[in-house]
Amino acid sequence: MPDLDRSELIENRINNGILGQWYPVAKSVEVRSISPLGIEVLGEKLVLWRGDNGKVHCIKDQCPHRGAPLSFGRLHEGHISCRYHGIVVSGEGVVVTVPAMKNCAFEGQKIVRAFEVQEIYDAIFIYMPSAENEKAPRMVLPKEFLSDSWSGFLCTAVWKTNYRYALDNLADPMHGSYLHAESFTLAYGTKEDLFKVDHTENGFIVSRTGQLGENFDWTEFEMHDGTMFCFLDIPYPKAAGPGGNMRIIGFVLPINENSCKVFFWRMREVSGIQRDCWRFLYRTELESKHWTVLEQDREILEAMSDDVRGNEKLYQHDVGVNRIRQTLLKQAKSNVDFELNIEGKS
């Protein structure tokens, strides 16, 4: 395989999303036991539903008969049936019945691709296998998800832009002082600074050198085998109630080349009555303010042209942007080289 082909494959892989990762794909409340939900993940059409025991299933959204989307179908006894001619498929991708034909040979065969699913902290995660990791590694969760002393809300939004812009945005704390300068909390501190990137145990942290704890001053990315997420703190004034900083835990799902879905958990370290207070204040006061900020991100990223990446002039404060891009490049190379290696051997 000539070098150019390999680099094109790597670029395509980065652009479509890295394989061998767990991704959040929907809020728990979106997946129901009365009707299926069609979704798109890394350009693949998938269908989700909740079985009779509450367990969530995810299979390819394509009927094995003539390819109709199964997400148009209905749910029967925990399985999904195709709207077109009625084939019933289980959550494991096995054809349960073919009602239009007696003793059809498909029955009992596993001919639809199924995906591993986990439901965690109000979200449905699925594993997108890579050639090197067909089986899902154990998902490493943000430590706040595992602690009773943190309480949070999940907010999701579809942004019509490639997911790389959403990750770049998270790796670029400087934009907070400009794009969000008129917001509830992001007007504090200086508007000029230098940035640094430090290695952490499982990734890296990009932070300002001139101030910490005054504004959106740092973002930390954690990379584990099969999981990647980031977190950052937004200092809150006293008016925002107990709990100190608001911590945002972010995952970005590549939907396809042109759109992504952000999953942001807004968390505070609170317990007892402080927890109730935070939850009440969030719903009544803070949530709308946060949405205003998020909309500012969405609007500017959606307005950036898709080919701008080749025409940038990066400068010092883009060290985090550079670092996240290197991370994706390394992961994409690993995906592609393993595939090429398999092809070469076959």
Interface ranges with Fe ion (CB under 5 A):
297
Select the residue interacting with ligand FES from 66, 110, 143, 283 (CB under 6 A).
66
297 binds, among ligand FES, Fe ion, none (CB under 5 to 8 A by kind): Fe ion
Q: How many CB atoms lie within 10 A of CB 77?
A: 10
Shortest Å, Cβ 104 to Fe ion:
53
Which CB sits closer to ligand FES, 71 or 177?
A: 71
Cα-based angle 132, 135, 140 (whole degrees, multiple of 5): 100
Closest CA to 123 of 156, 90, 150: 156
Q: Which residues on neighbouring strands pair with residue 200, listed in sequence order?
A: 203
Select the residue interacting with ligand FES from 32, 68, 181, 256 (CB under 6 A).
68
Which CB sits closer to ligand FES, 79 or 261?
A: 79
286 binds, among ligand FES, Fe ion, none (CB under 5 to 8 A by kind): none
Stretch that binds ligand FES, among 6-14, 65-73, 184-192, 219-227 (CB under 6 A): 65-73
Select the residue interacting with ligand FES from 63, 170, 248, 267 (CB under 6 A).
63
Closest CA to 60 of 135, 138, 5, 115: 115
Exposure of 28 by Cβ count < 10 A (0-12 exposed, 13-18 middle, 19+ buried)?
Answer: middle
Shortest Å, Cβ 177 to Fe ion:
10
Distances in Å between the Cα of 266 and the Cα atoms of 23, 144, 153, 233, 246 are 18, 11, 5, 10, 7
Shortest Å, Cβ 82 to ligand FES:
3
If binding is defined by CB under 6 A, does position 60 make contact with ligand FES? Answer: no
Q: Indicate the residue type of 220.
A: E
63 binds, among ligand FES, Fe ion, none (CB under 5 to 8 A by kind): ligand FES
| Dist. CA 167–CA 159, nearest whole Å | 12
Please, which of residues 72-131 interact with ligand FES by CB under 6 A? Answer: 82, 84-87
Determine which helix (DSSP H) or strand (DSSP E) holds 169, and give its type and residue range. Answer: helix 163-170
- Under DSSP, is residue 280 helix (H, G, I), strand (E, B) or coil? helix
If binding is defined by CB under 6 A, does position 286 make contact with ligand FES? Answer: no
* Residues at the site binding ligand FES, with contacts judged by CB under 6 A: 63, 65-66, 68, 82, 84-87
